[in-house]
């Protein structure tokens, strides 16, 4: 179950970091996305309902901070969240490497959907956008263990007893 107050504070803090500081850590196509990492955390650690609603809210917040169309991020993030959530239920997640691989797959899939959507509605070339999606997935996945530890420590998702 999602702890709404803690979730809101954590996501707003990540949004502010993303909007004010993270551009300084970007180099060419390597750009971290803290909100996408938060969405991956919800997908991997929450139940399906929690993950879908949380990711929808994170996507809307991401759209508020961008020049893109409102609703474009949730449109890409929600189906990928549903797919990854069902995939993770069939995996044995004993190793942290599994979560990193799933995070990379999540961020890459969302990035590729954004790239395809952007190329479809603008004059941008897909060949220019795919490296951005891959770089974002790499950098976000590299930061994911720290962000997952933060989100777990804050207790955004209430774990069932005995888990």
pLDDT digits (tens, 9 = 90+) for 96-151: 888 899 999 999 999 999 899 888 888 889 999 999 999 999 999 998 888 888 87
DSSP string covering the chain: -B-HHHHHHHHHHHHHHHHHTGGGG-BTTB---HHHHHHHHHHHHS-HHHHHHHHHHHHHHHHHTSSS-TTHHHHHHHHHHHHHHHHHTTS---SHHHHHHHHHHHHHHHHHHHHHHHHHHSS--HHHHHHHHHHHHHHHHHHHHHHHHHHHHHT-BPPPTT-
Stated pTM of the model? 0.86
Domain 4-154 sits in CATH 1.10.1330 = no
**Model confidence at 89, in pLDDT bands (50, 70, 90)?**
confident
């Amino acid at each position: 179950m999602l702890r709404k107050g803690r979730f809101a504070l954590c996501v707003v803090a990540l949004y502010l970091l993303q909007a004010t500081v993270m551009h300084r850590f970007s180099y060419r196509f390597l750009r971290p996305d803290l909100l996408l990492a938060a969405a991956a955390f919800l997908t991997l650690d929450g139940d399906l309902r929690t993950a879908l609603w949380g990711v929808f809210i994170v996507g809307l917040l991401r759209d508020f901070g961008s020049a893109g169309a409102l609703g474009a991020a949730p449109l890409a993030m929600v189906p990928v969240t549903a797919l990854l959530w069902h995939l993770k239920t069939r995996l044995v997640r004993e190793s942290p490497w599994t979560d990193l691989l799933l995070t990379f797959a999540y961020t890459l899939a969302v990035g590729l959907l954004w790239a395809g959507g952007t190329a479809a509605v603008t004059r941008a070339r897909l060949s220019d956008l795919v490296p951005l999606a891959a770089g974002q997935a790499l950098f976000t996945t590299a930061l994911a263990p720290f962000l997952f530890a933060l989100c777990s420590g804050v207790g955004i998702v209430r774990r069932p007893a005995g888990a």
